[in-house]
Structure formats: C-alpha cells, structure tokens
Amino acid sequence: MSAAAQPPSHRKLLIEARRRGWLILLAVVLVALVGWAVGHSKDPSYEAEAVLVVHAAVPVAEQPNSSSQLAATYSALIPLDRKVESSIETQLPEVEGKDYAVANDPNTAVLRLTFHARTSDGAIEGARVLSLSIAGGNPITGNIKPNTISVASLPTSAEESAASSELLLVSIFLGLLLGFVLVGFWRPRDVRLDTLRDLRQQLSCPCFAIDLDTRSGLHPLFDVLADRGSRTLAVVPCTAKDKGSAQALVKALLNAFGTGRAVATGAPGSDEAGELAATAADATIIVVRTGERAADLARAADLLNRYGAEPAYAVIAVGRGRPAAPAPRAPDAGAASPTA
C-alpha cells in the first residue's frame, strides 16, 4: 500500500509520532537528568530494619486481638515520644542523618522498626539501640509497659535507600507529562498537511493525492482534466520547497496530454511571482508536498485569489518524482475537444 493510499487516521498518527515524538523524548531526558542530579546531590542514606513483637498483658484468650491493638498504638506512639528521641540522640551522637520510623503489619502484633542513617553501620547500630531501648522489662519511656515488646530479629546489614530511584521514576513520569503538554500546545499552532483529508479541510476545490514515484493517483486527476478539454494548466508549487513536486507533476501531465497543456510556475510570493504566471493559464493546480504547513498553503491560496488565479484543483504529492514506469495516458486525451 502506498503512502498516499494508507488509511488517513493510521498514517496521520504515525507521521505525528515521527514529527513530534522527539519533543516528548527530549522532555523525558531533560527532566530525568534533573531528577538524577537532584537525587545524587543528596547525601547517601541507608536503612536497617528490626522486627519486634508485642505481647499484651491480658488473658491468653484475648492475646491475639489485644496484642494487635497494642501494636497499632505503639506504632503511632513511639515516633512521637520525646524520651525515645532523646535516648537516640544521647546514645548515638556520632551517627549522622539519623531518623527512624515504626510500622505495624495490619492485624498483627508485629512492629517493624526502620532506622535511617548516612552510613550502613550507623543504620544497623541505630536499629539495634532503638530496639533494645523500648523492648524488655525496662523500656526507656513510661509510655511503653514493661515486657510488652520483645525483639524478634535485629539487623545485620543495611540497604541503600530507594529514594534516588523513586525520584528518577517520578522524573520520567513528569517528563512524559511535560512532553505531551508541549506537543498539545505546539500541534494546533503548526498544522501540517499529511493526507488528502488534511488538504480537503483547507481548500474547497477538487483535491487529489498522487505518489510521484509510483504514479498512483494520477488516473482520477487525468479523468477530471480530460473532461475539461484542452484548457491550459498552471501547476503552482505552494512554496519553493514544493517546486520539484510541481515539475514532476507537469512532466506527467505533458506525457499524458501533450506539450503546451501544462506549465510549472514559481511559488506565489517568491521572486518568480507564481501568482502572476498563473493568471495566463485557464486553470490553476496548486501542489503541496506531504508535511507542508497549512499556514503556507493558506498564504499561497490567498495570493492566487487576489490575482484571479484561485486554485481549480489541488494535489498533495508524495515522493520526489524519481524515474518510474511511464505515466498513464489520459483517456482520449488526444481527441478531447474543448468544452467550456
């Protein structure tokens, strides 16, 4: 299937992805680099975890429910207890970046104590000191009843905090979001003509899609021109970049209809004054390449209209007109008689 014949919605989506996808990729890379730099500018952090078990001083039958409730209470109370905080400061004055958190596994009597520090040894020592300070028969604070917390396990190693990797993932997500916002802002301000449907949305004259390399799409245009007789045609490129496509179309028209039927002009508004040359012909065909800006087409059409050479037909051209099989002859082109 040729590019001109592909389903417009699918082709348009692929073209837009190739044209503007780099902006999304650039936004992701830049924001991710910022996130990576911020993450690595911070001091490293390690965490070690100790596991504690809570035993409520109640009859055995009530132990499971009461212990889990007491564990939930301790998990909220311990991080707020001033005596626990003072004890940590007193026992570990040399440990930098120390911080701790206590969590309760839902509906259990298990407490997970996590200690953070800037070194692995500091995190391990902090978890051990804090655990032993609140467990056993002589806890450091009166808010914890003696012998209600016992140590299940103490850490022997610490892991580096995942904050940096989490920050990188957040940065990638924000980069994607920023990229889509930028594309959404850019696209309406840079409308491009990629399909026949795009061309028809800009012009009210008959429009055609032609692949200049394979010559596909020429038959419908030839049929229309043959019905119009031997009127002379000015093939006008939308911009100077479309001149090669316009010349390739003229060659195909001359091959089909004979010399003198079509002539290529310069682009409207250029030094070649294509709008003036188009006034000498009976009809004007404006040619745009795929990817041309809609604003450029509107500007060219407006110039042609001012000089009374408004486009009678429009062609969106795919390819560069490289040598291919001979263009098809127009039906009865040689015998066509002029009609008004």
Q: CA-to-CA distance for 206 and 200, rounded, in angstroms?
A: 8
* CATH number listed for the domain at residues 46-160: 3.30.70
On the 0-12 / 13-18 / 19+ scale of CB atoms within 10 A, 225 is buried
d(CA 292, CA 41): 46
Which residue, among 139, 153, 81, has the nearest Cα to 111 in the 3D structure? Answer: 153
Instruction: Give the model's pLDDT for residue 255.
Output: 86
The residues with which 50 forms a beta bridge, in sequence order, are 113
Contacts of 237 (CB under 8 A, 6+ apart): 243, 245, 246, 264, 265, 266, 267, 274, 286, 287, 288
Report the alpha-carbon distance of residue 103 to residue 115 in Å, rounded: 12
The closest of 5, 105, 120, 2 to 51, measured between CA atoms, is: 105
What's CA 265's distance to the chain center, in Å? Answer: 40
Question: Token pair for residue 285?
Answer: 């065909």
Task: Tell which residue, 196, 201, 252, 266, has the closest CA to residue 222.
Answer: 252
Strand partners, 304: none
Query: Closest Cα to residue 181, out of 27, 9, 10?
Result: 27
Please state, in angstroms and as integers, the Cα–Cα distance from residue 79 to each residue in 55, 68, 88, 101, following that order.
Answer: 19, 18, 11, 6
- Rounded Cα distance, 227 and 100, in Å: 86
Token pair listed for 99: 């911080």
| Domain assignments of the chain as residue spans, ordered by start | 3-41+164-189, 46-160, 193-318
pLDDT for 92 equals 87
For the record, the structure tokens of 190 come out as: 């840079």
Rounded distance between C-alpha atoms, residue 176 and residue 110, angstroms: 40
pLDDT per residue of the chain (340 residues) written in tens, 0 to 9: 444 444 556 777 888 888 899 999 999 999 988 887 877 666 678 899 999 999 888 786 677 888 899 999 999 999 998 998 888 888 888 888 888 899 998 889 999 999 988 888 899 999 999 999 999 888 988 889 999 999 999 998 988 776 666 777 889 999 999 999 999 999 888 899 988 999 999 999 999 999 888 888 888 998 888 877 668 899 999 999 999 999 999 998 888 887 778 899 999 988 888 889 899 899 999 999 988 999 999 999 999 999 999 999 999 998 765 544 444 554 544 433 333 2
87, 138 Cβ separation under 8 angstroms: no
